[in-house]
Amino acid sequence: MAKIMKASPALYVIRERIRKALQLFSSEPTESYLNSTNYAELFSHQTCWFVDDTNVYRVTVQKTFEGNLNTRPINGAMTVLNPRTGQCFIKVIHSSVWAGQKRLGQLAKWKTAEETVALVRSLPVEEQPNQLIVSRKGMLDPLEVTMLDFPNITIRGSEMQLPLQALLKIEKIGDMILKATEPKMSLWSCYDNWLATVSPYTAFSRLVLILRALHINTERAKIVLRPDKTVVTEPHHLWPTLSDEQWIKVENQLKDLILGDYGKKNNVNVASLTASEIRDVILGMEIQAPSQQRQQIAEIEKQASEQSQLTALTTKTQNVRGDEIV
């Protein structure tokens, strides 16, 4: 069976799907998907990797003389992030990989799985991950097949839509990928020197805030990240060098940008969102928009608090004797 699975990945996928459909896997412990309630597990003693294949197959669209749209593949990249250390492996997928191939969307998933296995193999055992978390559910089958040689590595899906593809909007990384003439692997530190002053949990939350804002509105996010001309980005860093106080201000502005966009798209009053809903929006979870009634209650509470903050008026009157009464 092991030989068949290695020789024909398609057969293995069919076998797995039949087992799942017939519910023949009850004896195996099923790993729960990553979500906003259990994502603190990422910072335990285990090594976890996020594998993102969003930008592996990228195309540019050109209009022909006849008015038709023509697509041409351009260099893409596979992103693998370690949320505990901030290490980010970026593998450039050169456009020549797609020459003469068909069903490129599906092929991109298998290509990502192959590159992930090659990366795991290249590392010493102590640096290999204990868990692989895929950003898109379509990656689960290809990774299960290609990771057969690593039975101790668990593969999980994620309910959080993490915006790792926004890393390509950073000039240093975007230019490196577009100018590449061959497939190559590079290693970046997404946390710069943050871990000297904050925990990995805080650094990861900050990175998600920045990437989500870059994904929503690149220009505004870049202005927020560089509030004035004195703020510089070190040559070996990805992000501007800011103090902890400046980072708190920047994080609040990025949060407002993200929530403002969510409120606009879903016609929701941001003031009516609870703390857990705000966290879910930032982490990219699917949430139920607050009901109209709840939004109206939030409005009334806001007005009441504003009225209570009004200054009291003093009135002066005179009695019969001509004394002034305040």
Q: What are phi and psi of 200, to 5 degrees?
A: -55, -35
Res. 253 pLDDT band, cuts 50 70 90: very high
> Residue 281 and residue 276: Cα distance in Å, rounded?
9
Sign of CA dihedral 111, 102, 136, 7: negative
For tokens 């795991």, the residue is 120
Residue 27 in this model has a pLDDT that exceeds 50: no
Are the CB atoms for 173 and 73 separated by under 8 Å? no
Distances (CA, A) of 86 to 1, 12, 165, 229: 39, 34, 15, 27
Choice among 11-15, 227-231, 254-258 with the minimum mean pLDDT: 11-15
Write the CB contacts of 161 (distance below 8 Å, at least 6 apart in sequence). 135, 284, 285
User: Exposed, middle or buried by CB within 10 Å (0-12, 13-18, 19+), for 209?
Assistant: buried
pLDDT for 118 equals: 92
At 58 the pLDDT is 86
Distance CA 319, CA 92 (A): 88
pTM strictly above 0.85: no
Residue 50 sits at φ, ψ, to 5 deg, of -95, 130
Q: Is 132 in a helix, a strand, or coil? A: strand
Concatenated DSSP letters of 53-104: -TTSSEEEEEE-TTS-EEEEEE-EEEEEE-TTT-EEEEEEE-GGGGTT-S-H
The proportion of the chain whose per-residue pLDDT surpasses 90, expressed as a percent, equals 17
Task: Say if residue 191's pLDDT is above 80.
Answer: yes
- pLDDT at position 51: 92
**72 CB contacts (<8 Å, ≥6 apart)?**
59, 60, 62, 95
Degrees (nearest 5) of the Cα angle 227, 231, 232?
135
- Could you count the other beta carbons within 10 Å of the beta carbon of residue 214? 22
Q: Report the residue count for the chain.
A: 326
CB atoms within 10 A of CB 64: 8
Average pLDDT (174-196) is 90
Tell me which of 21 and 262 has the higher pLDDT: 262
Report residue 187 as tokens: 């290693």
Task: Give the per-residue pLDDT at 122.
Answer: 92
Instruction: Give pLDDT, residue 281.
Output: 86
CA distances from 309 to 3, 78, 218, 262, 299 (A): 74, 53, 37, 29, 16
Among residues 277, 274, 44, 52, which one has the least CA distance to residue 162?
52
Distance CA 267, CA 142 (A): 38
Helices (H) and strands (E) in the chain, counts: 10, 10
Q: Where is average pLDDT lowest: 160-169, 224-233, 256-265, 309-318?
A: 309-318
The band of 315, judged by pLDDT with boundaries at 50, 70 and 90, is low
